[in-house]
Chains A and B, each alone.
Chain A
Amino acid sequence: MEHEISVSPEEISLPESWNKLPMIAGGVGLISLIASYMMGHGSQQFSFSYLTGFMYWLTLALGGLFFVLLHYLARSGWSVVVRRQAEHVMGTLPVFVLLFIPVALGMHDLYHWTHADAVAHDPLLQHKAPYLNETFFFIRAAFFFAVWTMLSMYFRSQSAQQDKSGDPDITQRLQTRSAPGMVLFAVTIMFASFDWLMSLEPHWFSTIFGVYIFAGCVVSIFAFLILLVLQLKGSGALTHIVTWEHFHDLGKLLFGFVVFWAYIGFSQFMLIWYANIPEETFWFDMRWDDPTWRWTSIFLAAGHFVVPFFFLITQWVKRQRLTLTLAALWMLFMHYVDIYWLVMPTLHHEAFQLSVLDFTCWLGIGGLFLAVLFSLMQRSTLIPVKDPRLQESLAFENP
């Protein structure tokens, strides 16, 4: 290396204008949640709207965990300058333990299999009872949260420690531990998807379902990172640190995983459609027979794949502030449509029906998520200042 690229302290600390954001986001979040509770408590709509919002933000946080694990597993260099934001995103995971409480309390509204009288008349549910029962459901949820909390806290604290000590062994250690971490991540996300989303229709089953949720996680984290870092740059931070070369790469990965999501979604749909076995097809029928759901399904396929595919495929889109922001915002919106499409037909099987609770629950959980995220951002520098690969990342250019 011929010369070191220096980093000025102003560029790597959170801009002043962001200091009030945790308060604002937290306030908005809390008010929205309280309003949602007042408007909807005790109603099925509240539980479903809440689950939709919960899964939306949880999948994003899990995407952050995946990004960090992948960064170490692949021994990446280019992504060092954006990794800290992903660490903060996954840093919100412990909060989801608390945010899970309304899901747990509403589980009788959400999950048909929790009704003893329904199980008594349903041989299939009886068969599944060793897995689908409340005790085991909570044991598993505890396991998932334990794994996610442990992984996110460990990787964050080690990274923060490196900021102080600059010890390269920390990177070495995290690289080694990211591999078993990835195994745990894969297993937990598969079964969490089965538990919290697939079992909404307890008769339905699909082996690829967890992979589909995973694909959504990854799309949302890349979109979110792009947006967050662009905003930071807009406020005058990271100006010379995160360049268009990094955004170009994030955009490429966003594009790649948009295609991956479509590949997994298509595989699931096509195989079920083609084999045409009623015990599987009813799940898609619920999203197709009614014209409003049918248009939602078509909108999902077009908006989550076709449009962003043609939009993101050109190079200049990934290297312009306006276009990249649009793409990221759009994908974050479509991710909501995706989660909504997975959850809501169970409640509103007769027709698509928006509720104000859908919005307030999403906003409420999102507000708390962002409040935690912003306050984590205040507490450390915006990049891992002593990462041994920082120089490599700063000097990064697309070949």
Chain B
Amino acid sequence: MAHAAVVADIDPVAGRAPLIEGDPSFHDITEVVSAPMEWKPPLGWYIFLGVSLCFLGLFGFSIGWLFWEGTGIWGNNIPVAWAWPIVNFVFWVGIGHAGTLISAVLFLFRQKWRTSINRTAEAMTIFAVMCALVFPGIHIGRPWLPYWMFPIPNQMDMWPQFRSPLMWDVFAVSIYGTVSLLFWYIGLVPDLATARDRATTRTRQVIYGIFALGWRGSFRQWLHYEKAYLLLAGLATPLVLSVHSVVSFDFATAQLPGWHTTIFPPYFVAGAIFSGLAMVITLMVICRVIFKLEHVINMLHFDRMARLILLTGSLVGLAYSLEFFIAWYSGTEVELFAFLNRARGPFAWAYWIMVTCNVVVPQVFWFKKARTHIPTLFIASIFINIGMWFERFVIVVTSLHRDFLPSSWDYFTPTFWDFAFFAGSFGLFFTMFTLFVRFMPMVAMAEVKSVLPQAHVHNRPE
């Protein structure tokens, strides 16, 4: 079988496997990546966009209803005062981690396979951060006063409460969003110039032209571009760690058992990268087929992402075990209770979904067959997405629902509107993503060309 032959040599011991299959020329790459922007979109694209827009509409309507009626439409209530909205926020921020990991961290580590997937992963990051920001935005109680969160001089002498971790979130996530956007855009400039030069209509030429910033591909421009890219990668790398660390501070600075544990920052970061990579796999498995990019995004790329998933999934598993061990070791009754309650209490079903999806499922990636088998990758990535949503649910809800006062213990039940907000956020995400694949080059053409063998005159190993 041809498939087996391809799989066999993605890990040669001598030399390195070619990153792009089929030995395409530079022009072939331009053609295959530009095609989706220049096609008349297939019917399926319109259907998918339509469905996404419906869900986006549901999101808009839900937000309207929330503003009209108030937060009582959610299942949130004492003792579970923080529930799905914050779970969704952390879920989406987590998804948004893979983009910067792939574009910045893997760039610094000279992992050249990243070039095939970094554009889409970064786009995914930005859309995920947008989805994430909606939730705290609408959950602040007085949604018409969000500017109070920014240190803007005003006549009331109001100043943000810098001691609150929620304030740190505002800064961490908005810095992350800004830098991710900049990073994405810098990388896009040469490709937008390609789109401009290939434009067949005046409108396309002008719009792509504006965003291409007068790119001509001169030596000097490339020099500046590569320096800017390296600097941004250096700046973005600490951000990969900082965003989710700060998100974890929301919980870990509290004294609540189940929230207050010192491993939260690195454990959240590992979990975020884990979920983000799973989402990249989910999206890529579909996109590469629809847009005929199978040779650009091939088994080698899936193999590498699956390895990273196995690594981060195992780190998450280790963190779960350490938490449990220290909960017992600490000798603090409430601490141990909180953890036993997770595993055996009324929300045990959620806990075991989390453990199964996040710790057990990724173990299939010990096997190369699983790492290079599309159905397995797809199913596992879906399970991981589910598991990581449940992880945040377990952390938030099970820690709260049985608090220090047994008389106020309660079971949390979501309402229709909780589901509507969550489904609606997917509407926003997929609307943005559907538009992205139609109007933007979804693979970084210039970067992929730089990893083709003919880009290296001396043919040095990469």
Contact = CB atoms under 8 A, between A and B. Distances in A.
A395 interface: yes
A399 B265 contact: no
B145 interface: no
B14 interface: yes
B264 A206 contact: no
A388 B14 contact: yes
Interface stretch (A124-132, A349-357, A359-367): A124-132
A74 B245 CA distance: 25
Contact of A271 (B13, B262, B322, B461): B262
Contacts of B322: 190, 207, 210
B299 to A, nearest CB: 16
Contacts, number: 100
A149 to B, nearest CB: 22
B460 interface: yes
Contacts of B11: 75, 172, 175
Contacts of B14: 168, 388-389
Interface string A95-135: 00000000000000000000000000001100110010000
Interface string B105-116: 000011000000
Given A206-B262, A208-B262, A271-B262, A183 B13 contact: no
A279 to B, nearest CB: 7
Contact of B329 (A131, A264, A277): A131
Contacts of A128: 329, 331
B60 interface: no
Contacts of A205: 326, 329-330
A179 interface: yes
Given A207-B323, A207-B326, A395-B460, A275 B245 contact: no
B261 A207 contact: yes
Contacts of A208: 262-263, 265-266
B314 interface: yes
B318 A186 contact: yes
B262 A77 contact: no
A206 B253 CA distance: 14
B249 interface: yes
A395 B459 CA distance: 12
A1 interface: yes
B366 interface: yes
Contact of B13 (A131, A168, A211, A391): A168
B236 to A, nearest CB: 14
Nearest to B450: A399
A179 B323 contact: no
A317 interface: no
B253 A267 contact: no
Contact of B110 (A203, A275, A277, A399): A399
Contacts of A1: 15, 459-461
A259 interface: yes
B252 interface: yes
Which has the most chain B C-beta neighbours within 10 Å: A77, A171, A263, A267? A267
Contacts of B460: 1, 395
A174 B11 CA distance: 13
Nearest to A272: B262
A259 B318 contact: no
Interface residues of A, number: 48
Contacts of B319: 207
Given A271-B249, A275-B254, A211 B263 contact: yes
Given A190-B318, A263-B245, A275-B255, A211 B266 contact: yes
B326 A267 contact: no
B245 A187 contact: no
A163 interface: no
Interface in B104-150: 109-110
Interface string A330-347: 000000000000000000
B260 interface: yes
Nearest to B259: A275
A268 interface: yes
Nearest to A122: B331
Which has the most chain B C-beta neighbours within 10 Å: A123, A187, A276, A392? A392
B50 interface: no
A187 B461 CA distance: 35
Interface in A157-190: 168-169, 171-172, 175, 179, 183, 186-187, 190
B241 interface: yes
Nearest to B266: A211
Contacts of A259: 238
Interface in A32-91: 74-75, 77
Contacts of B366: 179
Given A203-B331, A274-B249, 7 more contacts: A1-B15, A1-B460, A205-B330, A271-B262, A275-B260, A277-B255, A279-B332
Interface of B: 11, 13-16, 109-110, 238, 241, 245, 249, 252-255, 260-266, 310, 314-315, 318-319, 322-323, 326, 329-332, 366, 458-461
Interface of A: 1-2, 74-75, 77, 123-124, 127-128, 131, 168-169, 171-172, 175, 179, 183, 186-187, 190, 194, 203, 205-211, 259, 263-264, 267-268, 270-272, 274-277, 279, 388-389, 391-392, 395, 399
